[in-house]
Structures are given as C-alpha cells and as structure tokens.
Structure 1
C-alpha cells in the first residue's frame, strides 16, 4: 500500500464524504473502518434529505441549505465515478397542516423561503389531494421542492467505489495511519472525544425504522412531527423513526417501531396493507450543539473531527466533505463557529426543532 496523504477513520457518511472530497482533490486517501461500511446510523433505511424551516436563518440552516442544494450534482458525480446507483432523487416533501394557525405560519414561511432559498426552491401551501398524499385536518399541506432522498445503503456503497475509482483505499479492519487523521467514528468517536476532553460533547440517540413493500418511487416524501415516510427508487418505502434517549438494546426493534408504523398508516392510509420487509435500529451520534461537529481535535495537532450528523448527516454530507477536505489539505477554514468542537463543550443538549 502507498503512504496516504490523509487518513479517515470511520466508514459512515461523514467519513466517506470527507474521503471522496479529498480524493477528488488528488490526495492519496486511506479510509479505515473497523467493523463494516455503514455499521452505525449510516446503515439505516430512511434517507430523508430535508431542510429545517425557512425562518430565523443562522449558520446551521445556511450550511444545510448549501449542502442540500449541491446534493443533486454531488450524488450524480458519485454515481458516475462508481458506476452504481445511489437512490438519489429530488422529489420534494409534503407536510400536513393541523389547524389555521399552522396554515398561517406555513404561508409566512413561504414568503421567507423566496429570499432564504434564493428563488431556487419553493415552500408553498397547497391542497392535500391526489395520490399518496397525507391526511390533513385542514385539507392543506406544505409542499417544498428542496427536499430530496437517498438510499443510505446504496449511497454508501457507491461512495466506496467512487473513492476507489479515484485511487483511494477503503479498508475494513485496521491499518496504519499516515498524514493528518480525520475521526468520523460516530457514537464511539463522541465517547472518545468526551473522555479526552474531560467533558461530554455528545451522545447516542437510538432510532428505529422499517422498509415496507409499497412502490411510490416518483412521489414526494411525507413528514409529520416525529414521522417520516420516504419512497425509494427500488419500489420500497421507508417509515421512521423513533428518537430514544434511553433504551435496553441499541440495535433491537420493539413496540415503539410498531407505534410509528401505526401512526404512519393513520396519516397515509395507502401504507396500511404494505408488508413490512426490513426493520432497523441503531444509534445516531448527536453533538451537544445539535450541529455537525467539525474541525481540529483540541490538543491533538494533526487530528480532526467530523461527527454529530444525528438526523441530518446525509443531507449535510456534501458540504461537510468539502469544508473538511479544504481544512485538512489546504489549511482553508470555512467551518461555522457553531460547528466547532468547542461549541459542544458550551452547549446544553436540548430538543431539536
């Protein structure tokens, strides 16, 4: 094996995105994953690439918008380089509106979106009618055209082959590190970082999801509070997910997933008779700041962190990869202050919006 210019630890979406961005810059890349590609939350099922609401703009929302906007070209390049499908499609999202107040807020945000989303994508209130649309008490729903989907397992497999096509190494097992090291090791990485810094910087939150046998591949996904329904291009539909701070087993599904399934069928009756094909449970890495944790590992020169994707890792991945590769290989720091490790040393964990 040749000596790499940069080593990435972790074969989840952040590690793969950083490796791909570095390989595109011509660097010799070595990615080391000790268990399996997508062994953590990146091996899940849902794959919703969706934005926060277009209001109260901040660095996190701006970064996320940029990443989602670049996603179509980014994933197309991965597919071209690898020769594999990724499951990416920008088909938008429906959100039912519960009452008149929700409708009023949605219409106000539609005006904000015209500016904040730069006229490139729409957030609009439309009638909740047609095939594969959610039940809505008001008969209205939000339709945004920024939201996209990815098939997580297809996407990670395609990234592996794209990295290799650019001359990078992807090693499952262990190998020597060389050059700067980027730690993108999910929940285990948050634990290691917390121990090293002597203060918790994040934790793991359990999620559960399922795949059902329903073909709605050309339809927008559906979002309601705590519930995602994402049609995939292979003729299946993902239903999720739970967010559990306490659990008995991190990788076992239980009645909480059954409750999610029941809620999904009530919201979208066309799901009711779809057979359950696959169930999944795993831990998502959540930083205390609730933003991706990027940048230098404090007190460890030559070591960097790319962690804390939580529920938005796949959507954030294109820009995470680019800014981390720029930092590590070029010394160019474009990371928002709220994304730095130090931000998670200061923040208290709170519920995501």
Structure 2
C-alpha cells in the first residue's frame, strides 16, 4: 500500500466559464487511477489543473510536494508532469528518436541511456526511431508520446483519453503497450476515459465524476459493484476480481486460481507463473444461479455465493449482486431474467451456487502485487 507521502492529493473548486468544479480525492502513489465520467463531467479540467494549466482554488500535492495551496501556486514548467494528450502533438520537424529525448534533454540530468533503451523496448519503438512522425499511424504516434512523457522523469503521468482518437483495431494493438507501461512505472498514473472497457483493463482505482463532482472513488473492484452508481444494473455489467494462480495444466491450457478460498478455472494461452496474482473479468451475462450442484456440465466454475442485493435491470431482467462465500469483499453480478428470479424465489441473504460460464483476464500484462 502506498505511503501517505507518496499519494496524490487533489482538492479543487471553482468555475471555468459556465462549468463549476468541486472535487476532492486521493490517488495511490503507484498504479493507475482512472478518472471516469461522461463528456463534460470535468475529467480534463482536473488533469489540466493538476498540471497547472488551469487554475482553481484548492490544493494539489504530488509525492509529498505541494504544487498548490492557499499560499502558493507552482507554475506548470516547474511541475514534474508527464502529460499525454488525446492528440499526440509530436514535433513534426524531429525524428521519433529526437521526439523521445526532447523532454529528457530539458531535465537537469539529461538523457539517461539505460532508461531510454528500456522505454524503447517497453513500447516497441525500435523500428520507428529514424522515421518522421508524419509517417506514423495514430497508435504509433501515441506510443511515441507516451515514451516522451515518461522520459522527462515525471513525478506523475497524466493521460487524457489517449485512445479516444483510435479505431478499435488500433486500440487493440496499443493496449498491451499501455498495460506494460503502467505495470512498469513506479509513479502514479491518472488515466482519463469515458470508456469503461479501457478502465476495466487498465485501472486499479477509479474516481467517478458527475457534473464536476466526485460521485464515487475507490478500488475499481468495489466501485463497479456499487449499486448506488448504476454500473451493476447495466445489462453489460462486469466485475473485477483478483486471484492467485495455484496450478496450470499444460495438456488443456487451463489455469486454476484461488479466489478467496474457492477455486476458479480459466483458459490461458501462455503458461502463468505459479503464485502470481491476476485480475479477472466476469460479465454478468455469463453468470447463472442454481441451488443444485450438477457435476455433469460443461461449465467448470461453480462458486458458493451469498446474495447481497437484487436490483431491476431493464424491463425483463434483474441484477443479482453476489458475494463469494458469506463475505462482501469480492463481489460480482449475475444478470438473470425476472421470470427466473421469481421462479427461484431469490432473496437477499440466501446462499446458493453461481455458475460462471466464462472468465477472462482483465489485463494481459502481469501486474506486481499490491496490498
């Protein structure tokens, strides 16, 4: 767990034209915190204020350094920020290599060759180094922009919807690089997005903004199943759980993970390292409920669960919030028809079996363990 001195503290309040902002949250000193919300909710304003590009009243502290409070305002050029915008904004007159080293050359210690080589390898930029930036694809441009940002030795990396301008094929191509980047950094990353799929794949924590205010903040796995926010009642609701790999069968490619004392099985193309912790994604539509324990089934995953809540989800369905065993730390959702819920007479507090048809990795890049 991050020490308080390493954390990001943000408390901002004020107006920008017709827009009113009043937010307060903390973010971990390592890992990825998503800033999520609809267009106009204040996501970009928060990032720009942290960077010092917009000025609101309040307080901003990064890695123990006060960048803003009632007595001071550190100007943008003195804030150690790496900023990746929606548009890569590369220098057209410089090669990819010179774009990468531009920020580093402006720091006190100059270009760190080892760090440069590591970043080039991490983001797969080797084949691009001598190319002109005008001949790069959108995904390639964003990878260069990310490399340039982290080579400036920032204390925090701010990413403002860096994937929003890419088509789905380009997103799919760049996401593994973004995952690898986030997993390797020892600094906080604030990742702005309005795409929950990106958030599920990349974030550890989340701050949900609505109309310039914080609607919720905390670990992603908890916020996704917070009934007051509505994520859990959507037909495409998903949940993020974490489990430790305890076995892998090379003959059929099935990994066995410990999930709070219960076992869950999933297909993995690559042999996982035993003992590593992996993030799992479970879609509500892939979960069914039963009081039976039929062994003759193609569904491998059957989990002992307790019903925490039942909420309406559209005209014909209900969202059933489930906890593993009898606790509530690891929760996920089943989307079932109202007819089935009535026929089974489901009730809060009841223990039964959840059958999970499909489980996927929320991220393809292995993250370090976090408390």
TM over 0.5: no
Bigger RCO of structures 1 and 2 (CA < 8 A, at least 6 apart): 1
TM-score category by the smaller chain?
A: under 0.3
Give the structure with the higher percent helix. 1
- Structure with the greater alpha carbon radius of gyration: 2
